[in-house]
A and B are shown apart, each in its own frame.
Chain A
Amino acid sequence: MSDEPKSGFTRRDLVRGALVGAAAAAIPVQAPAEEASRALGPGAVPIALTINGKTEKLVVEPRVVLADALRDRIGLTGTKVVCGRGACGACTVLVDGAAQCSCLLLAAEVQGRNITTIEGLKANGRLSPIQEAFVEADALQCGFCTSGMVMSCKTLLDHNPKPTRDQIREAVSGNLCRCGTYPHVIDAVERAAGIRTAESTLTIAAPLAIAADGRRFHGDDRVGPATLEAMEAEEA
């Protein structure tokens, strides 16, 4: 799988292959013999991809991009497509450990590379620390940019375990979010990096309420059981 030789063709070869293949095309583009032999297509071709450590064999047209191969052919729909042209980062995956837009890579182009998608971050059925932190910090709303955000943040932490807030902003500057999760994404990365437990920037105007007997409530007066543990302890 990962030791398969790199296929070694370029996007230009694919374009040429497609043009040559459009047999009726009026322009007789002739690729040099040695390049033409490496060109793929026209029509669907068999390829093999290494996704999350597993080999996936599929038959796709050479023009199919990695994002579509993942989503439509393999069924890994966690990777999202928003702009289809590398402007938004929603389709970010790791290719040999580097964050890349899977909508800008041809599936056939990344044979032999190690591809990690959002589905590959869980280990033994458990969320990875950055995923946990996203949940805890509520670094997601609709969740459609979240896969890409998580992948960018994971790459950041892989290379820089203690990033500054500006470095986090920079790391996700290619990931567009329409709901406006950015502040909580920054909190989540800090949380995952153990830099600090993100402090809330929300305050509730006090006093919250005043009871009939004049006691003041500030919102931290709580009654249990608020947790499963508390309930089970009570039952025990």
Chain B
Amino acid sequence: MSKDTMRVGFNGKFESKDVELAPGDPAPWDPSRKFSILGTRVPRIDGPAKVSGQARYGIDQRLPGMLSGRILRSPYPAAVVKSIDLSAAKRMPGVKAALAIARPGDSLRFAGQEVAALAADTAEQASDALAAIRVEYEVKPFVVDVESSRKKGAPLVFEGQVQNRTSAGDMPGKNAPLPRDGNVQGPRKSDKGSIDEGFAKADVVLEGTYHSQVQNHTALETHGLVAAWEPDGSLKVWASTQGIFSVRDELADSLGLDKSKVTVTTEYMGGGFGAKFGARVEGVAAAKLAKEAGAPVKMFLDRKEEQLATGNRPSAIQWIKAGATKDGKLTALQLVVHGCGGTNGGTGSSGPLKNIYACDNVRTEEFDVFTNSGPSAAFRAPGHPQGVFALEVFMEELAGKLGMDSLDFRMKNDPSEIRRHEFTLGAERIGWKTRNARRATDDPAVRRGIGMAAALWYNTGGTGPKTTVTIHRDGSADVEQGVQDLGTGARTMVGIVAAEELGLPLAKVNVRIGSTALPYGPGSGGSTTTPSSAPSVRAAAWQAKQKLAEELAKSWGVAPVAVVIESGRVSVKGDASKSLGWKEACAKLPEAGVSATAARAENHPEGWKRFTSGAQFAEVEVDTETGRVKVKKVVAVHDCGLAVNTLTTESQIQGGVIQGVSYALYEDRILDRATGKAVNANVEQYKIVGSRDVPEIETILVPVWDGVNNTHSVGIGEPATVPTAGAIANAVSHAIGAPIRRLPITPEVVFEALREAEAQKGGRA
């Protein structure tokens, strides 16, 4: 370890701090550093491949003799398998292998659960052959709606112990044992201070209940992989995944292979949003079928399977009660959540209430409600869009009861200096002060509204990733790390950080990512990719540069510390005779060039620890005759640490906002109570926002030098979608003068809110 100093802070205010540096880890960049490429708008380096159809996704993989795999799924929401007979299916044209996934006696707990799998020469033959698999089911009673599931005597989703489906990274499944009553499991409890004392101190107490729906990830590339066995018994896999190493590990574990025998490649992938970390049932089945058939197997799900079985954001019923003093200080915050993630856990939405506003007395209780429906999986900021929706609509209502402006109320209770700054910037941009005067539009039926919501996220990344940087004799460089690019721009991010540190143009840096044959890379979840990956890239580039300096020092006969590498020149300060351009300097390297491999150092405990913060402001128009909501504008103000690439950061924030608009207004997985089946497992009835319903989006980045890692980087993928639905709900509430307590905000929800407001007025009159 070596001692150094660094400066941390934001908004022009910085403090100096001592920092212990791990060997080979450079000090965090100083706020006054002039960057060459980092922080500019850099078109992604794989853009040309993606716009020309050349980018090879897992689903595009073709191998000689490759078979098509298909899965047979349960048609019943609840059943016990009596028998499975594959013999007729195996005799169908083109079928080369078949296997049972469920065993006799196994319970099937949702319509769409995997029963058997087979592989055939063509996709059409595989589909035909599924019909020849004979399965006897004992059909059981089921329950698919949360209200019925919570009632005494409801059919039990789990008769014995809860068996959460887990694949690597299916976060909601990782539960400590909890009490269970019927289909309701929990609570997970947290207590801070004394909730009773908090309410006793309150001048004003309010409560409210907020409902949110199940959201499907709906990644455009479905889950799946191609599995091919090599003659030496090793397994090669091309997967659509957010974690090539977690897929590798799950395959190795499931198949009894050494990790060293499995190679997973993901050069490109068509979206994950949290649900793509494991090999999962279909991936393991593909590898087994490939072994049986002696041929590679491609197993990618179709759209219906994707919507049914690969994960979702749980629904939530959130009851909030809070107390505040007359002058607007929170004294008590209480939350009870019933979250439903089908056969998986359904909660995790207490994060915003516990962590955004300061309050001494906080109690949360979270219950999982099980139903016979597809299991939840981590989904872009698990728990948070729904948690912020409930909390922030509640805060708006409480401000109303206190007779305060809701922004003032938030400012008064928000302990985050960064977010208060973001509130101020966003409020100015959206025109918060004049919002009440602007509610009327030219059309008397159409009302304008402005609302806001806060965001927070947690992760600063961590150790694990390793990067190798090689500087070649011709001056070009390779940077290698086994991270995968979900579409966030990770490949370009790796290149930018290396180019910045080496002082090279991006075109001189060759980026290799997306394979477990490369040094270990982080799984892309929790918005940790960049803060985990980038510091290791920078350290490897920095070390490779030191090696270049050592080589030049040798040839010049000076001490390595005398050699300075800056702006594409290698020189000895104060000696004009010892100064070379980058390329000339590299020509003096040994034939192999120089390389360095660096691991991501631990987070600096001296860094400015904080939650990643954000705030969004939405402007909507609501037609009070049709109930239709149109989001006109969203101002998104976010702390993105020090953004590596402002162009792709802007894309990520726009994407987060747009997914939030979609969640707020349109998306809703619907299950039929009579049959227990999903009625909209597709993309025409499961509505994703399209081009005509996307608002104008303005982004304001607030750079923060936190000194937690050597690049001050944090992830933005999740924070950007956390507050959108809450801000929109508040804007609609503002427009119509009645709180919106349910997502998605369909015309029916708008009318219900209007009716309730009318009834209350009538009641008071």
Residues of A within 8 A of B (CB): 61, 63-64, 68, 71-72, 75-80, 82-85, 87-88, 90, 117-119, 121-122, 127, 131, 134-136, 138, 140-147, 150, 168-170, 172-173, 175-186, 200-205, 207-212, 215-217, 219, 221-228, 230-231, 234-235
B111 at the interface (CB under 8 A from A): no
* Of B33-41, B168-176, B202-210, B514-522, the one touching chain A: B33-41
List A contacts of B51 (CB < 8 A): 118, 127, 131, 134-135, 140, 143, 146, 150
- Separation of A207 and B646 alpha carbons in the complex (Å): 16
Are A209 and B705 in contact, with the CB atoms below 8 A? yes
Measured CB to CB, the nearest residue on chain A to B422 is A205
B468 at the interface (CB under 8 A from A): no
Select which of B31, B487, B648 is within 8 A of A211 by beta carbon: B31
Known A-B contacts A87-B683, A138-B47; the reply to A223 vs B54 at CB < 8 A is: no
Select which of A143, A203, A225 is within 8 A of B701 by beta carbon: A203
Measured CB to CB, the nearest residue on chain B to A72 is B123
Q: Give 9 pairs: A residue, B residue, CB < 8 Å, sorted on A.
A: A71-B60, A77-B57, A77-B59, A85-B684, A87-B684, A180-B656, A202-B653, A202-B698, A204-B701
List B contacts of A179 (CB < 8 A): 271, 487, 651, 655
Are B271 and A142 in contact, with the CB atoms below 8 A? yes
A-B contact count (CB 8 A): 260
B508 at the interface (CB under 8 A from A): yes
Are B568 and A225 in contact, with the CB atoms below 8 A? yes
Are B53 and A210 in contact, with the CB atoms below 8 A? no
Residues of B within 8 A of A (CB): 11-12, 14, 31-32, 34-37, 39-41, 43-44, 46-48, 50-57, 59-60, 62, 122-124, 218-221, 268-271, 273, 302-303, 421, 425, 486-489, 503-505, 507-508, 567-569, 581-584, 637, 646-659, 682-684, 688, 690-692, 694, 696-703, 705
List B contacts of A185 (CB < 8 A): 691
Main secondary structure of the interface of A (DSSP, over half): loop
- Separation of A150 and B698 alpha carbons in the complex (Å): 24
Are B682 and A83 in contact, with the CB atoms below 8 A? yes
Are A82 and B303 in contact, with the CB atoms below 8 A? yes
Select which of A64, A145, A176, A202 is within 8 A of B650 by beta carbon: A202
Are A142 and B487 in contact, with the CB atoms below 8 A? yes
Are B271 and A144 in contact, with the CB atoms below 8 A? yes
Known A-B contacts A183-B694, A225-B503; the reply to A235 vs B34 at CB < 8 A is: no
- Separation of A138 and B581 alpha carbons in the complex (Å): 33
Measured CB to CB, the nearest residue on chain A to B687 is A176
- Separation of A220 and B655 alpha carbons in the complex (Å): 26
- Separation of A145 and B699 alpha carbons in the complex (Å): 24
- Separation of A234 and B581 alpha carbons in the complex (Å): 7
Are A119 and B34 in contact, with the CB atoms below 8 A? no
Select which of B31, B57, B647 is within 8 A of A210 by beta carbon: B31
* A89 nearest CB across to chain B (Å): 10
Select which of A87, A142, A223 is within 8 A of B221 by beta carbon: A142
Measured CB to CB, the nearest residue on chain A to B647 is A138
Select which of B46, B654, B688 is within 8 A of A176 by beta carbon: B688
Are A175 and B270 in contact, with the CB atoms below 8 A? no
